[in-house]
Structure 1
Amino acid sequence: MIEAVRSALADSIVTVTDTRMERIPRRAGWPLRRIAAPQQVGSTMAVAGFLDMSEQRSTGCTNKPMSTAPCVTGSC
């Protein structure tokens, strides 16, 4: 997915995710910018938001395939 976003030169990814999973990109220095408050989806609380791609571009991680290693700010 990230490679497709890069090739399209998009500024951000819009995603809906479980609120528990939201912390993973945040810990990697890639926080989700929420569009609205979390909503109940079935038995899960979900949140919609933007992931900014400009941060990923500026870290120099754009040349690494996603499958090699996660892009964590300062470790690229």
Structure 2
Amino acid sequence: MMVTQERHKVERILGIGGEGSIVGWRQNKEAARSSATLAAENARFWVAHSFSAAAIVISAAGLASHLWYLSGKITI
């Protein structure tokens, strides 16, 4: 199962996660203090999220550099 699905499963068991944005984040943070399972899932989620964010930044940088390269090939 994916990291986010496992995290949502734990949140549903604890009765949190129905709220969005800041309220849901605060509920999750508070519940993680007393639930080792949720704390572990949060750690796994943030690792996966960090790798995903880094991949997006690297992809955007590669796209920008390729566009720069291609723009140098254009003759008007």
TM-score over 0.5 for the alignment? Answer: no
Structure number having the greater strand percentage: 1
Shorter-chain TM range is under 0.3
Question: Structure 1 length as normaliser, TM-score?
Answer: 0.25
Question: Structure 2 length as normaliser, TM-score?
Answer: 0.25
Structure number having the greater helix percentage: 2
Higher relative contact order (CA 8 A, sep 6+): 1
